Amino acid sequence: MPLEFEKPILELEKRIQELKETARTTGVDLEAEIRLLEERLARLKQEIYGHLTPWQRVQLARAPGRPTTLDVLEKAFRDFLELHGDRAFADDPAIVGGLAYLEGEKVVVVGHQKGRDTKENLRRNFGMPHPEGYRKAMRLMDLADRFGYPLISFIDTPGAYPGVSAEERGQAWVIAQSIQRMGRLKVPAIAVILGEGGSGGALAIGVANRVLILENAWYSVISPESCAAILWRDAKEAPKAAEALKLTAQDLLALKVVDAIIPEPEGGAHKDPDRAIQNVKEALLRTLEELKALSPEALYQDRYRRFRALGAYAES
Amino acid sequence: MALERLFRRKRPSGENRDVPELWTKCEACGAQLYKKEFRENLYVCPKCGHHHRMSAAERVAMLADEGTFQETTRLAPLDPLGFVDTKPYAERLQAYQKETGRKDAILGGTCAIGGVPSVLLVMDYAFAGGSMGSVVGEEIARGVERAAAEERALVIVAASGGARMQEAALSLMQMAKTVMSLDLLWAKRLPYVSILTDPTTGGVTASFAALADVIFAEPGALIGFAGPRVIRQTIRQELPEGFQRAEFLLKHGMVDRVTDRRQLKGELVRALRHLHPGVPYAPGV
Ligand SMILES: [Zn+2]
């Protein structure tokens, strides 16, 4: 399903296609017209994709076909061995993780997992974890520490699941514990925000030495819709909230909430997932190389200082 | 995140216009209460036991040993995102500052609690729903650092709708900052006691408030991650009776004790004396 703001592009593409078809079947020379339209298409793309609003980026971050954690694991890593369960209550399909190789490096991977179709999305609860999901994540962090392997996390969740069962099982408690557990890692930790970075449910696996973000992903304390529902009393004002929340990659880089932006193919990662995943892989390898020089204690201190420094206030 | 209460009509605890000034009404059972007695009873209704909200300053007076509290909180908020919704954040801040006489949603300092040297940090629900932005996060981190440096116990009284929306990702980062700072206490074996009051939700519950050595909750306090309205919208069902109340959390194993406010200081002192390595063995003191 095309995104609303992309419709002029798709319409133009369709017209070019039709014209080419006509030229082929009738033998009429339409090359000049086609070239003209193609030039116009290039300009239109530049105009739209080159000036994406925060709300348009939020839509790209949610676009079907955008690479998920498992897609990245499949294409950028080798020999992924998925591990299941929290050893206490259940296995949460909204968080996946396990052991993998990144080029020559043994790593532990954990990430939110959205479904790639409606059926899978229901099973994975749209990437909204329950407490058992975060307990599984903590297990994997333990594993990374125990064997000295880097921890790589992929963030893509609208938020931790807000439901009765999640509250009964201590959603707030496990998120706090997961933040603490990840903060205490003595191995390199890299987080990549792939799509949506929704609040504490995202941060729970985001306490990394370096936080990277895909160009059109978002990360904030609340979704634009929920923010609009509270502050504007109308969820339809989400585009305004997206603007106000400064949730885009560029804004977050300026605030030092993220350390680097990973470029996406024109029109978003879903237009060319392989290219996007390759970019993620290259960024991970670069960042890992940088962190490998640090001792376990230095890695902990580096992470501590990174988060200790965030915030804006006035001494008085 | 759950700042939904912020925009409801404000009502200072126990005030009610229908009755003469000396009297007030219990919010829960409607009993007529003599204000002076009500205050002396720590805003707990003597008829039904309902715990009304109280101000940060009254909390400090209730928990710190008399004459020992020295305020250390001093930071003022900025508007790092230039946030504007139906009103600019900067204007909202000014209004809250005028209303509460406080720069932001936290009052903290050093004191003795039952003789135990402590850092006491109290969130102020009257200021922007007690929400945690950069100032609250930084004051908590500094409070923890002070406790560690001066070998004091840490006591935090939480009352918060969660992270402050108008500082967006920076508010979110305060969760990591505050949680990580607690490591300083771990390293020095200093106790941290958290007191959850009505309401404690969102990014405050899901960070430092949940990670104390001992967690007290006040009776009837709303405590959780997501706000009840959000949950109701998600599951499209009415919520079970008592859901997310202190007693519910005790039953599900999330808090150590649900303690009546009138016994809270006594129990807090016992916990601190048990835990603080600098306090000699002295049962029943
Ligand atoms: Zn009453």
Q: What is the DSSP string of A121-161?
A: HHHTGGG---HHHHHHHHHHHHHHHHHT--EEEEEEES-S-
Read off the pLDDT of residues B97-154 as tens digits, 9 standing for 90 and up: 999 999 999 999 999 999 999 999 999 999 999 999 999 999 999 999 999 999 999 9
Side-chain-side CA neighbours of A7 within 13 Å: the count stands at: 4
| Full DSSP string of chain A | ---GGGHHHHHHHHHHHHHHHHHHHH----HHHHHHHHHHHHHHHHHHHTT--HHHHHHHHT-TT---HHHHHHHHSEEEEE----SSS---TTEEEEEEEETTEEEEEEEE---SSHHHHHHTGGG---HHHHHHHHHHHHHHHHHT--EEEEEEES-S--SHHHHHTTHHHHHHHHHHHHHT-SS-EEEEEEEEEEHHHHHTT---SEEEEETT-EEESS-HHHHHHHHTS-GGGHHHHHHHTT-SHHHHHHTTSSSEEE---TT-GGGSHHHHHHHHHHHHHHHHHHHHTS-HHHHHHHHHHHHHT---EE--
- Return all residues near A80 (Cβ < 8 A) that are at least 6 apart: A73, A74, A98, A99, A100, A109
Cα gap A258→A110, rounded to integer Å: 19
In percent, the amount of chain B with pLDDT more than 90 equals 86
From the CA atom positions of chain B, what is the Rg in Å?
19
* C-alpha distance from A62 to closest chain B C-alpha (Å): 19
pTM of the model: 0.95
Predicted pLDDT at B233: 86
Question: Do residues B128 and B159 make contact, with C-beta atoms less than 8 angstroms apart?
Answer: no
A11-15, A157-161, B14-18, B260-264: range with lowest mean pLDDT: B14-18
Q: What is the pLDDT of residue B10?
A: 47
CB A276 within 8 A of CB A265: yes
Q: Which of B3, B133, B234 sits opposite A162 (nearest CB)?
A: B234
Contact A203 B172 (CB under 8 A): yes
Half-sphere exposure of B278 (CA within 13 A, CB side): 12
Q: What is the mean pLDDT of residues A110-119?
A: 96
Looking at residue A296, its amino acid is P
> Using 50, 70 and 90 to split pLDDT, how confident is the model at B9?
very low
Between B187 and A134, residue with greater pLDDT: A134
Alpha-carbon distance of A224 to B135, in angstroms, equals 23
Q: Which residue has the tokens 């929340």?
A: A245
Per-residue pLDDT band for B235 (boundaries 50, 70, 90) equals confident
> pLDDT at position B18, please?
56
Largest CA distance in chain B: 57
Contact A255 B169 (CB under 8 A): yes
| Amino acid identity, position A86 | D
Report the distance separating Cα B60 and Cα B186, nearest Å: 25
What is the pLDDT, as a whole number, of residue B20? Answer: 60
Tallying the residues shown for chain B, one arrives at: 285
Whether A203 and B84 lie within 8 Å, measured CB to CB: no
Average pLDDT, chain B: 92
Confidence band of B281 (pLDDT split at 50, 70, 90): confident
Main-chain phi, psi angles of A213, to 5 degrees: -140, 135
Residues above pLDDT 70, as percent of chain B:
92
Nearest residue to A217 (alpha-carbon basis) of A276, A167, A289: A276
CA B239 to chain centre: 24
Is A297 in CB contact (< 8 Å) with chain B? no
Test A170 with B74 for CB contact under 8 angstroms: no
- Which tokens in the block code for residue B183? 């490591």
Residues in chain A within 8 Å Cβ distance of B165: 221-222, 227, 230-231, 245
pLDDT score, position B16: 52
Chain A residue numbers touching B180 (CB-CB < 8 A): 179-180, 183, 207, 303-304, 307-308
CA of B26 to the centre of ligand 1 (A): 5
Residue A316: predicted pLDDT: 80
Judge contact between B169 and A206, C-beta under 8 A. no
Q: What angle do CA A125, A227, A191 make, to 5 degrees?
A: 55
A143–chain B nearest CA distance, Å:
20
Q: Which of B122, B136, B108, B253 is nearest to B203 (CA)?
A: B136
Measured between beta carbons, which residues in chain B are less than 8 angstroms from residue A257? Answer: 169-170, 172-173
User: Which of the pair, A114 or A1, is modelled with greater confidence?
Assistant: A114
According to the model, what pLDDT value does residue B17 have? 55
CB < 8 Å to B206, chain A: 171-173, 175-176, 179, 200
Residues of A in contact with B3 (CB under 8 A): 230
Does A226 contact B1 at a Cβ distance shorter than 8 Å?
Answer: yes
Mean pLDDT, residues A272-294 = 97
Ion ligand 1: residues, CB within 5 A, are B 26, 28-29, 31, 45, 47-48, 50
Joined together, the tokens standing for residue B147 give 């406790």
How large is the greatest C-alpha to C-alpha distance in chain A, in angstroms?
78
Give the model confidence (pLDDT) of A52-86 as tens digits.
999 999 999 999 999 999 999 999 999 999 999 99
* Residues whose CB falls within 8 Å of the CB of residue B89, separated by 6 or more in sequence, listed in order: B79, B81, B82, B83, B166
The pairing of strands B70-71 and B106-113 is antiparallel
Domains of chain B: 54-275 (3.90.226.10)
B143 contact residues in A (CB cutoff 8 A): none
pLDDT of residue A303: 98
pLDDT of residue B7: 42
Nearest CA in chain A to B83: A244
Q: How far is B269 from chain A (nearest CA, A)?
A: 25
Dist. CA B53 → ligand 1 center (Å): 13
| % of chain A surpassing 70 pLDDT | 100
Instruction: Please say whether the beta carbons of B77 and A313 come within 8 A.
Output: yes
Determine which of B140, B179, B213, B223 to mutate to test the interface with A (most A C-beta atoms within 10 Å): B179
A88 touches chain B (CB under 8 A): no
pLDDT score of A182 more than 80: yes
pLDDT at position A12: 95
For the ranges A175-179, A241-245, B21-25, the lowest mean pLDDT is seen at B21-25
pLDDT band at B236 (very low <50, low <70, confident <90, very high): confident
Task: Report the C-alpha gap between A230 and B163 in whole angstroms.
Answer: 13
Q: Which residues pair with A107 in a beta bridge?
A: A100
Report pLDDT for A20. 93
Instruction: Show the 3-state SS of B242-266.
Output: CCCEHHHHHHCCCCCEECCHHHHHH
Q: Does pLDDT of B2 surpass 50? A: no
Residue B3 clears pLDDT 70, i.e. is over it = no
Torsion of CA B104, B110, B111, B112, to 10 degrees: 130
Stretch A293-313: mean pLDDT, rounded? Answer: 98
CB contact under 8 A, A170 and B252: yes
Q: A with B: how many residue pairs have Cβ under 8 Å apart?
A: 200
Flag if B168 and A245 touch (Cβ within 8 Å): yes
User: Cβ(A54)–Cβ(A227) under 8 Å?
Assistant: no
Confirm if A77 and A211 have CB atoms less than 8 A apart.
no
Report, as an integer, the average pLDDT of A186-204: 98
Q: What is the mean pLDDT of chain A?
A: 96
C-alpha B37 – ligand 1 centre gap (Å): 13
Rounded Cα distance, B13 and A13, in Å: 63
CA distance B94 to chain A (A): 14
What is the ipTM metric for this complex? 0.96
The pLDDT, as a whole number, for residue B8 is: 45
Q: What is the Cα–Cα distance from B183 to B198, expressed in whole angstroms?
A: 27
